């Protein structure tokens, strides 16, 4: 049987005059009532070692002899395990889902090298083996994969009209669909679409148009009625920052279960890396606009 130990991110703290406290991975401190069990016994059982060195002016107690685990200590250790604060998993086996969250996922990567290079490096650390793919073969490769598929598309410039429209359907077919692009000095990292109700690029455009009084001007900008893009383009630093946020969102979407928070659109100012967050939701389907008077279904 493996020796119990504290779970990753947790720590037992000896508080002067108050016994033991547990610091959880999120920084919360919980009081530990050991009852009639000596705190040192619990520390030894969980591999936390002896008490910290006493203050120089404190009396040093005689060392206690080593004792066999007693039922009281066993009950405390079992309570720690039940709450998830202790584990018996071997050191070489990390908790499920923490070592390589994208292992076994086919990641198809497209876009500009200044962004795809740092994204690929981060994806490999998450257990993925990103593969470059041409836009014309994206649908074929994504829908023909036998394993879970993720598509990551990064652009160092505005999205050409209609470029992402075919890819928007991939999330409805089961692929994770992550993307980012730059408009002037701001990079936009769109939330990863997952499943039939994921937030697509078309949803993002509609939400952004609805949120600005300059919706006609923004629509014309996206349609290509603009002068040539003059940057500022991504640097190595801004690309690394953008790639980290993009892969973070992809990892969150790859976790099983419901999304813990609403999808978030991130905007990164490339001049100072200031980042904004905008929660967004998919745009529900609606009935088409009625046609001119006199057409069938619209008599007036």
- As a whole number, mean pLDDT of residues 181-208 equals 92
- pLDDT score, position 3: 80
Exposure string of 90-108, with b = 16+ CB inside 10 Å and e = fewer, is eeeeeeeeeeebbeebbbb
Give tens-digit pLDDT for 139-170: 888 876 667 889 999 999 999 999 999 999 88
Q: Give the whole-angstrom CA distance, residue 137 versus residue 179.
A: 17
262 vs 96, more confident? 262
**pLDDT for position 51:** 45
Top pLDDT among 180 and 147 is at 180
The residues facing 264 across adjacent strands are: 279
Q: What percentage of residues in the chain have a pLDDT greater than 90?
A: 47
3-state secondary structure 34-98: CCCCCHHHHHHHCCCCCCCCCCCCCCCCCCCCCCCCCHHHHHHHHHHHHCCCEECCCCCCCCCCC
Binning pLDDT at 50, 70 and 90, where does residue 103 land? confident
Phi/psi-derived region of residue 274, left when phi > 0, alpha when psi is between -120 and 50, beta in every other case? beta
| Burial group, residue 234, by CB count within 10 angstroms (0-12, 13-18, 19+) | buried
pLDDT at 260: 62
Contact between 102 and 123 (Cβ < 8 Å): yes
Of residues 183 and 54, more confidence is placed in 183
Q: Is the pLDDT of residue 273 over 70?
A: yes
**Residue 94, by phi and psi: left (phi above 0), alpha (psi -120 to 50) or beta?**
beta
Structure tokens at 249: 């969102």
CA distance 141 to 68: 60
Residue 267 predicted with pLDDT over 90: yes
Domains along the chain with CATH numbers: 5-87 (no CATH), 106-279 (3.40.50.720)
Q: Is 121 helix (H, G, I), strand (E, B) or coil?
A: helix
pLDDT at 63: 45
CA atoms of 177 and 189, how far apart (whole Å): 12
Structure tokens given for 173: 């077919």
Per the CB < 8 A criterion, the answer to whether 300 and 293 are in contact is yes
Q: Is residue 174 helix, strand or coil?
A: coil
List, as one string, the DSSP characters of 124-142.
HHTT---EE--GGGHHHHH
Torsion angle (degrees, nearest 10) of CA 52, 55, 58, 59: 40
Task: Give the confidence band of 52 by pLDDT, cuts at 50, 70, 90.
Answer: very low
> Contact 110/132 with Cβ under 8 angstroms?
yes
Task: Find, among 73, 80, 88, 9, the residue nearest to 42 by Cα.
Answer: 73
Q: What is the pTM of this model?
A: 0.70
Angle at alpha carbon of residue 104, lines to 100 and 109, rounded to 5°: 95
Which residue would you say has higher pLDDT here, 4 or 181? 181
């Amino acid at each position: 049987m493996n020796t119990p130990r504290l779970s990753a991110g947790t720590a037992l703290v000896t508080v002067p005059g108050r016994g033991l406290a547990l610091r959880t991975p999120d920084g919360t401190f919980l009081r530990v009532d050991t009852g009639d069990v000596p705190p040192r016994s619990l520390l030894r059982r969980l591999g936390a070692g002896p008490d910290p060195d006493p203050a120089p002016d404190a009396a040093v107690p005689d060392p206690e002899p080593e004792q066999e685990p007693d039922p009281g200590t066993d009950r405390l250790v079992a309570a720690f395990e039940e709450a998830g604060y202790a584990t018996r998993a071997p050191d070489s086996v990390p908790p499920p889902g923490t070592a390589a969250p994208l292992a076994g996922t086919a990641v198809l990567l497209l876009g500009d090298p200044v962004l795809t290079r740092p994204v690929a490096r981060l994806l490999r650390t998450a257990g993925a083996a990103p593969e470059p793919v041409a836009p014309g073969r994206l649908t074929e490769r994504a829908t023909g994969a036998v394993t879970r598929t993720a598509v990551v598309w990064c652009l160092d410039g505005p999205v050409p009209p209609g470029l992402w429209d075919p890819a928007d359907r991939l999330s409805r077919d089961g692929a994770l669909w992550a993307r980012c692009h730059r408009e002037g000095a701001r990079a936009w990292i769109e939330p990863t679409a997952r499943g039939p109700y994921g937030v697509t690029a078309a949803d993002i455009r509609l939400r952004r148009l609805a949120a600005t009084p300059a919706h006609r001007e923004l629509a014309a900008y996206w349609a290509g009625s603009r002068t040539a893009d003059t940057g500022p383009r991504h640097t190595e630093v801004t690309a690394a920052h953008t790639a980290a946020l993009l892969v973070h969102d992809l990892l969150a979407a790859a976790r099983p279960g419901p999304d813990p928070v609403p999808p978030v659109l991130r905007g990164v100012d490339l001049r100072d890396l200031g980042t904004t967050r905008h929660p967004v939701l998919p745009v529900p389907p609606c009935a088409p606009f009625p046609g001119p008077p006199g057409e069938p279904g619209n008599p007036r």
